[in-house]
Amino acid sequence: MKSVTLTDNQSGKRVEFPLLESVLGSHVIDISSLNKELGYFTYDNGLGMTASCTSTITYIDGDKGELLYRGYEIEELATNHNYLEVCYLLLNGELPTPQEYRVFEDDMRIKRYPNEGIKKIFEAFPDKAHPMAVLSSAVSALSAFHFQHLDIKTHQEYMEMARRIIAKIPTLVAYTYRHSMGYPYIYPDPNRYFSENFLYMMRAFPNGKVKISQVEIDALDAIFTLHADHEQNASTSAVRLVCSTGAHPYAAISAGINALWGRAHGGANESVVDQLEMIGDVSKVDAFIARAKDPNDDFRLMGFGHRVYKNFDPRARVLKKMRDKLQAELGISSKIIEIANRIEEIALNDDYFVSRNLYPNIDFYSGTLLLALQIPRSMFTPIFVIGRTGRVDYPMDGAKTRPKRQNHTPTPTLCGQC
């Protein structure tokens, strides 16, 4: 095994530490015995350079602008596979066969319905309560209705828990929205696909017909897929930390939802739309671009650049194509989208932004795309929750992964990494 030797300049003692090799990405020094050998701890503010686990799920190369789920490129998955196929991939390590998919989706359709008692929890909240506060409470309450998941001993029990939470989250998000609007709750439609069913629960009224186009379903499906996982970010870390205490998995997921709430994490696309509305008109874009380039002005364009990606965010490429397709097929036009398109046009051709790797990121496109799907801004982060729940973490990850698809890598924690 390869190793790294550290020398203590105080005592002169030399200690070898194992070097953990990854199939993809950087190698990592295993310093778990540092305190025992030398009496020291490490200090890494923000844990930006510390790997707290290894993963065979997601791999990111920020310099290349590359994102892989189980070894599959994100563009391939978001373009050629639906969200439930991606959920199956994340949980099992490989894409499903047609038969495996049918069994998986049929089970998910059955599990969409939460216990009727959950509705009483929604009724206890004021109409103007923040959707994330309501949603995290509802998910935490699921632990009371599914207490059998507290003591998971087998992989089969874990899969049952994971499928149940993935299936129920869209229903809880739709209930959250309809409670905020004072609308009657709409039950899931077992005859509709996952993303179509969510749009149905958001838009429908009793005995009313709902028009949902295929391009809308595809767009929402892509958003869910692109948000499904992104290594050891703040919300994932929160779930793993709470789960490590032996708490109920749904209570841990509730903690992750609260971590996702913040504008430095899941709420970033709301900030993008806020800024576009603040700019107000295409004619004002040039002035705000000039402010963004002025070193003496603290104004910064939201939705540009990324802590991880030093190239174009691969998720942003997919969403840009999907947003353009949505506009073309549905004839959608709005002042917000016009402003966003003008900013994008300038930034992609301006050396100031290009030389600093300030490319549009996923938040720049997802906000305007969600508006085009008639999703109100208050529901942007709950939409993120639906997608991210597709990767329900499991400490004893025993999923099979083909060697040629494997992307086993130590994963540092980066708060706000999304």
The CATH code of the domain at 3-66 is: 2.20.28.60
Catalytic annotation, pick one of 306, 313, 393, 408: 306
* SS3 labels along the chain: CCEEEEECCCCCCEEEEEEECCCCCCCEECCCCHHHHHCCCCCCHHHCCCEEEEECCEEEECCCCEEEECCEEHHHHHHHCCHHHHHHHHHHCCCCCHHHHHHHHHHHHHCCCCCCCHHHHHHCCCCCCCHHHHHHHHHHHHHHHCHHHHCCCCHHHHHHHHHHHHHHHHHHHHHHHHHHHCCCCCCCCCCCCHHHHHHHHHHCCCCCCCCCCHHHHHHHHHHHHHCCCCCCEHHHHHHHHHHCCCCCHHHHHHHHHHHHCCCCCCCHHHHHHHHHHHHCCHHHHHHHHHHHHCCCCCCCCCCECCCCCCCCCHHHHHHHHHHHHHHHHHCCCCHHHHHHHHHHHHHCCCHHHHHCCCCECHHHHHHHHHHHCCCCHHHHHHHHHHHHCCCCCCCCCCCCCCHHHCCCEEEECECCCC
Model pTM? Answer: 0.85
Instruction: Give domain limits for the chain.
Output: 3-66, 71-264+376-394+406-412, 268-372
Q: Does the annotation count 306 as an active-site position?
A: yes
Look at residue 393 in the predicted model and tell me its pLDDT.
54
Catalytic annotation, pick one of 265, 363, 393, 408: 363
- Given CATH 1.10.580.10, say whether it is the number of domain 71-264+376-394+406-412: yes
pLDDT in tens, the chain (418 residues): 788 898 989 888 999 998 887 766 677 888 889 889 988 888 887 777 777 777 778 887 877 878 888 889 999 999 999 999 999 999 998 999 999 999 999 999 999 999 999 999 999 999 889 999 999 999 999 999 998 888 888 888 889 999 999 999 999 999 999 999 999 999 999 999 999 999 999 999 877 788 899 999 999 999 999 988 877 777 888 888 888 888 899 999 999 999 888 777 767 778 888 899 999 999 999 999 999 999 999 998 888 876 676 677 888 888 888 888 887 787 666 788 889 989 989 988 899 988 888 888 888 888 888 888 889 988 999 999 999 887 665 444 433 333 334 444 444 444 444 4
**Right CATH number for 268-372 from 3.30.70.100, 1.10.230.10, 3.40.50.11600, 1.10.3720.10?**
1.10.230.10
Q: Does the annotation count 179 as an active-site position?
A: no
Look at residue 214 in the predicted model and tell me its pLDDT.
93
